[in-house]
Structure 1
Amino acid sequence: MGSKSVTSEGLGLVRFILVWSSLSPVFLLWALRGVEPISDRFWIPICTALFLLPTVILICIFRRARASQNEKTIVISASRDQREHLLTYLFAMLIPLFQASLTGLRDIVAISVAFLFIMFLFWHMRLHYMNLIFALWGYRIFTVEARGGTTEKDRDTGRLVTYAVISRRHYLVDGEPLTGYRLGGSVLVDRANDD
């Protein structure tokens, strides 16, 4: 009886970084806004680092995956562009976080805990939106459902696996294969440049 290897496509570090990067514009806004208890000399570099760090980490992971040819091909069963939820994201998350009072140290701690709680919920519910810098480079993020497993028998079970696909394409066609660089967990960067 051979041993069975199980590949976890679950929630992972890369998905957490995707969530962090999608919420990172808050740090840029906080840097511009400033806070009374902390000097701008410290506050602006901290916020700038928290804004840029997830993008830098994602770029490093992407370069490593591309250099090692860590690729995966999936067949798209269904895909959704996350833009449909963008207004909800902006009005429900970014604006309230930006408008929160940061006049005292307790306010800063409270909003930081709320921010971490929101990040955990987004990560746990597999909600991820586009990184601002990647969006400027022409990337979009899709939630893609694909048949699970790498063998014919596994694919025939009908089990679907959800992937976060970062792509320069404007849309992904259901039923077509997609090959991408595996960043970790179930996050892929589409190899195709555009449609």
Structure 2
Amino acid sequence: MKTAAIDSLSFVRFILVWSSLSPVFLLWAIRGTKAVDETYFTLVCLVLFSAPTLVLWGFWSRSRAKNTVRTVKVIKAEDPKDHILTYLFAMLIPLFQSNIDDVRQLAVAIVALCMIMFLFWHMQLHYMNFVFALLGYSIFTVRVDGGMDARGPKPAGTWVIISRRSAISDGETLIGYRLGGLVLADKAE
């Protein structure tokens, strides 16, 4: 049981949370600040925007190369698109609109962003990676049945599925590349 608790707060889920908030960094790079040299600030923001996508792609490529697949039986699938307005208006827009023109205000915005990222990670709220969304991927949160496979018991609980499907049906058996923790990239294209 302890493994499932550790898996649920995995590094890959943190990367998903980071990537869902990464558009803030792109907007900050465009807007700029007077608190830090413009070149450095823009470069750091662009790295913070692109890094989670590159890390996710790296995990996905490694899992494909090693054929690290997992089969899960979906009990209940949820598409968090209905939460997107809450995400936009409660998180993304206030972070973008925060004053970052002096060092103290920039520090406050960074601390607020870190707190939001921690809360999203801890509460298992994942929205979407901006680049993956442009490529046609959606993200689903699914409750899965435990069960057994050749390696032993499979963790029951809540998994994150990255997929090009428009929906995942309750009761469906899904095969995906395990990116880490309880995160799968749907093998069906």
Which deviates more from structure 2 when the two are superposed, residues 102-111 or residues 89-98? Answer: 102-111
1:186, CA displacement in angstroms?
0.2
Counterpart check, 1:168 vs 2:164: yes
Instruction: Give 1:66's aligned residue.
Output: 64
Instruction: Give 2:108's aligned residue.
Output: 110
Partner AA of 1:163 in structure 2: W
For 2:141 and 2:113, the matched residues in 1 are separated by 23
Aligned length: 184
Partner AA of 1:180 in structure 2: G
Say which SS state the counterpart of residue 127 (structure 1) adopts.
Answer: coil
Q: Could you state the TM-score of these two structures normalised by the residue count of structure 1?
A: 0.90
Kindly indicate whether the alpha-carbon contact (under 8 Å) linking 2:35 and 2:103 is maintained by their aligned counterparts in 1.
Answer: yes
1:82, CA displacement in angstroms?
1.2
Identical positions, percent: 50
Instruction: Give 1:128's aligned residue.
Output: 126
For 1:183 and 1:60, the matched residues in 2 are separated by 9
For 1:176 and 1:122, the matched residues in 2 are separated by 27
Instruction: Give 2:80's aligned residue.
Output: 82
Say which SS state the counterpart of residue 116 (structure 2) adopts.
Answer: helix
Say which SS state the counterpart of residue 181 (structure 1) adopts.
Answer: strand
Say which SS state the counterpart of residue 189 (structure 1) adopts.
Answer: strand
Structure 1 gap ranges (5+) = 1-5
Instruction: Say which of 55, 58, 79 aligns to 1:57.
Output: 55
For 2:7 and 2:69, the matched residues in 1 are separated by 14
Say which SS state the counterpart of residue 8 (structure 2) adopts.
Answer: coil
Larger Rg: 1
For 1:28 and 1:150, the matched residues in 2 are separated by 43
Partner AA of 1:15 in structure 2: R
1:160, CA displacement in angstroms?
4.4
For 2:8 and 2:137, the matched residues in 1 are separated by 23
Kindly indicate whether the alpha-carbon contact (under 8 Å) linking 2:35 and 2:106 is maintained by their aligned counterparts in 1.
Answer: no
* Cα deviations by residue, 1:85-134 (Å, 9 ceiling, x for unpaired): 00000000000000101121011111111110100000000000110000
Say which SS state the counterpart of residue 183 (structure 1) adopts.
Answer: strand
Instruction: Give 1:142's aligned residue.
Output: 140
For 1:25 and 1:9, the matched residues in 2 are separated by 26
Instruction: Give 1:98's aligned residue.
Output: 96
Say which SS state the counterpart of residue 138 (structure 1) adopts.
Answer: coil
Structure 2 gap ranges (5+) = none
1:18, CA displacement in angstroms?
0.3
Instruction: Say which of 167, 188, 192 aligns to 2:188.
Output: 192
